[in-house]
Amino acid sequence: MNYLLIIELVSVLFNLLFLYLYIQEKKSCWIYGILGSLTGAFVVYSSNLYSETLLYLFYALMGGFALIVWHTKKAETFLIKSMKPKSVLGIIVTGILLALGLGFAMSNTDADKPYVDALSTIFGVIATLLEIYKYHIAWSFWIAINIYSIGLYLSSDLFFYAAQSILYTFMSVYGLVAWQKKLNAQ
């Protein structure tokens, strides 16, 4: 087994642990998210997925930021939030436009699949910002991103990440339902 496969597997394990703890709203989730993101950045960079590399580095930085945010908030006031459909639509349109711009920029490099990569990258950024502040809609974005990423990773021979995306999809559906119950109970 080559070293990249080992690093990819370690990254997947950190990432799965992150998501498991995030569903439970545990602050420690962000530490595993940072570790998974840093190891993941190395793997996707090695596969010439440059937008995805930027995304993983962004995840690591945002993990540090989220750790601070979650540490400074009081549990009784840091609750799951909903978002109006009009705001969600605005986020989607903005995300598509940003993805087109990033895809164009990356098409001027040796990036593999620049527009496909850019779409998951931009919406990954959006979903991350939403999840840091506990917006319930983040789960819906993650479900779509994870399903979309299965194909991206398979086409790049990143089989552990494709399997991770499959597991993430199921875990995100679970997170969506679990957080909806919490949101309804608030």
For residue range 17-38, what is the model confidence (pLDDT) as tens digits?
999 999 999 999 999 999 999 9
Neighbour tally for 128: CB within 10 Å: 22
Beta-strand runs (E) in 27-133: none
Report the pLDDT value the prediction gives residue 1, as an integer from 0 to 100.
Answer: 59
Average pLDDT over residues 53-63: 92
Q: Which two tokens stand for residue 79?
A: 């609750």
pLDDT in tens, 122-155: 999 999 999 999 999 999 999 999 999 899 889 8
- How many residues make up the chain in this entry? 186
Q: Which two tokens stand for residue 36?
A: 């998974």
pLDDT in tens, 69-111: 999 988 778 899 999 999 999 999 999 999 999 999 989 988 8
Report which DSSP code applies to 84: -
- Asked if the model's pLDDT at residue 10 lies above 70, the reply is yes
Report which DSSP code applies to 69: H
Report the pLDDT value the prediction gives residue 140, as an integer from 0 to 100.
Answer: 97
